[in-house]
Structure 1
């Protein structure tokens, strides 16, 4: 839709010399689609849609695709060139024919638009609740909502079951204990990394180990949709054990500052999504030279830097597990021992772990899925997982939290960034995607438009950088000057992208061998919008783009 509206506006430009009747129809069509787009934007921000909302969204999307194709064909024909007598005459005749086609085609599209619009009014789609409570996630098992935040598991996990945590925990404690510029000054450590890397677990392990050194302490989950007042209330309640109902925002900040003025405090703010939220939280932190400490976790590099900009801060970039720790974690979850893997499964388990790429949540999700099978040591099941790692993302309970983590990151993107991210689904698994060629593709597809005086190239470059900063894609290679040359997409993120692309009929991926019920080969009965053929003999693992 975001590419259609500018094209409709361009079609109305004087250069195309449309008849007054067709011009009015297209103006009406543009206005109708603009109104639908406003509701689509609201629907895109919802955490879950019901059947009628999804059906209406799909109809509008397919209508906008057909309109865009129609406009592309018409503008191409009307822009046709030709010089000389016969060529000029052929071009004139083609334009007359094209303008006649426009009139009839616009009538058809207008009728479809009115029909879709009547469904919107009939079912009052925009008047219904569009999202569940912020602390709930959709559950395929219950068909409803999970009211408990799954991150709670990280707060109560047995330290003996953790793998690869000791080194990062001691490094983070060392960062908080550094004595240069005064050990008693307020220090902030911002833990940053993509979803599922274990940021919450690491922060809680550090908090547990050092909290006895402080007069008051609080571990608070911020989350994507939580209000700053709720977060500040949680901090206050953790300190005082109660929360006065009469306190307003400004009063709460004053109360917190007064309480912390003469105390050494430790505060963990887990999962901060926005710089604006941090700017509110930091007002409460009193610099009292008593050695207070604040730990934050975030997926966003810009948020992490903001957390460290005002106080003596350090950004700690959490790293993936190494090969040894990945195997230990995987085997402990599947076989309850890190040395119990049957010999015939060691090679295939190595290939599965390569795809997990050291991400703890990915390893645990896959291991839980395999452990849930009656025949845990079935080589056939393991090989199926190796070949279709992200397939269980669609519905298996073991992948529920993984789905939620990926969805949170996706929902945090702007509409333009979502489109650019989904486009990465055209690249085969393991591809090295060159930045220069990718931004050109985005521009040619119409995903990028000029804004505030910046050209499409500048905007596309900023989109690429933002996807990296939000840890949605990974840097693969730098040039000699330190500029990013190429990126890659984690296998589970790529499978998530393909699932979303299939759901929105944005890209259809066909792999070999074709399967009747494979997630990557379905397009929901709609015509293909973009088709990516990823057959094994043509698959390239480097230099794509």
Structure 2
């Protein structure tokens, strides 16, 4: 952690000197001394690789560096925060006459540690630094290896579970999968859940993650989300009322399957099972648990399915898939790979994690001889753990993988503990938090977001993070990590006095763990339940740099507590409390000048005040409000570090900045009003990659306030949303008659979403000519008309087509109209009579989803049968085809 802290402090000092020299006037010489020592620390920490950790003097000095850098960072940040606040109150000069003295005191503390570093560098007789380089094989980095995950050794187990699920019973049937952590319970349940036969038989399928700290209400709300949109009234209902509502829905659904993943105790099961309709003999519940008593409590009439360990040949096969991506092994490595797989004792998670280690050794080796030497070192390390119990051995294997990571990757992994267990983490959110924390390092030719994505792919390739969902071009959308890896992260984040992060939990006696009085120790805090109790206790975390809340409940912040969060965490860099709804913006928020990432939600707030411009470090601003419009009085062009501005309202931008500069760092802008789509805005925000527009789109197309001809200047734009506002006037006024010609659209446009545009289907031919379009989402009434005949020669690269809430009756198309189509989603197209039969002949099509599109179900089934026949005839060439229909067509 220390080396990243040094890097971040250096960056902060440079940013301070460039953009706010008035806050540190007359301190140039002291800053130079401080920066010189920080660069010395950086060099020393790069030299202090795992090879040198055997020297206690090195370890102790690394701890001292960490502590003095944290202390320097805290002191400087606190001083800057106070100075900025005082400056806004017009008594800056009177209150802060001597910033140089403060920086001198810090520089002297840092210098005292710097002398110790120089002493070590001078004493080569005690410590040998020879041959140690930043790219040492103990900290491997390199090109990423993308692998398709393979499930090995569970085929027979999956067949048994599928057989149980297809059995006929007299009442609700409950099946349990039991086994120790890391044995693959969730993997097996997921394989069964996604099996095409199960998908077809159980059209209502729900996956619920329970975990140790579950709240019954959250589980119930998760289930209800599958049936209906959640209302405020539902959040107010008791657990018993929610359970009755679920039982009603499930009782009327016929065949359904619910997976309850990771149920810990019989008491937990008792709290959940009240929502299940016991009389529905077409319903099935699949439980995974470490606890045999959970299985007994859930169904005494069925023997639990106890998951076995992998056999030696299965262990070896899984290792080959993880390392080489195929069930083949170079002859000279066969013996060694069998030894290593055997050392994992049939534990799938251990094999997967070890596979991630071996892959990195391949990337860091020059030739097979060097690679074998490194693999033998891994084997020797594993042999040291053979006497451990299986869980202890698994923990050691995870630690071995972790120790081989560069420091920035370690911090990125530990940060996952900021999210709740079993939380599907949005990648766009995660990587922007990493950036705000300073974990992401600049690389030539790449943007910070691209570097951060490469970090995530690196963690995935090491099998420390799981890619839950990817989009059509392979980029990860959501991710998570295994429970055992998260438990390891929790331990690692709190050891050695690092106090990297801490989750706040309420105790039975009403207090919190850790106690509120100890918050001054921690640098990152998260809380996901009992949030108002925590806030009302007046916490104070003077060192906290991240404070996040991902509660599943919507929380209305009482008026008397609105200022408590910004008052409690004055040095915060990351603030994400989106579940908390504020009735007004706390003025204390504008004093948080170190904020780099902020996500807030408001009720009926229609103005983004000018005072937001004071947050000069801000990189990501997420501002949600129940107001349909947002007047942005803040001068975003003066916020020169701002990269992402995201709101759900139609935002009207501040039109004039103090200069003609600013905006070149903006990558995400949305949603903004059509009136804000001016040539001046697009000239400034010339590097936009994502743009969302909401309002009267006719203003753009008619050229009254802005004009679509400016859009072609956005040559970096990849994602565009055009959301027409039909609420501010009669529907006839909001209708669009034509789309701009293809050459007026941004040239790199890859994803396009339209909503409420009321276009005629003939206009689809224009969209078909967008050369790079891969994703097209036609939302509510984007196109209107009974007949659509797809024109020839278009949609050459389209991979995903989403059509929702249109009045289309007849659709004529052939396979050559969508040569690369992979996903077709139809939602609420309740007048569509049938799907074009030619869709079955698109080789790439492997997902067809119909939601409330009942008349087209019969034609969808014909396509499914045709695809199944193709798969049987060309099994090696055609991937599995999935058909999803809701509601179930029993």
- TM-score normalised by the shorter chain: which range applies? 0.3 to 0.5
Query: Taking structure 1 as the reference length, what is the TM-score of the superposition?
Result: 0.42
- More strand, by proportion: 2
| Higher-helix-fraction structure | 1
Larger RCO, structures 1/2 (Cα 8 Å, 6+ apart): 1
Larger Rg: 2
Alignment TM-score, normalising by the size of structure 2: 0.27
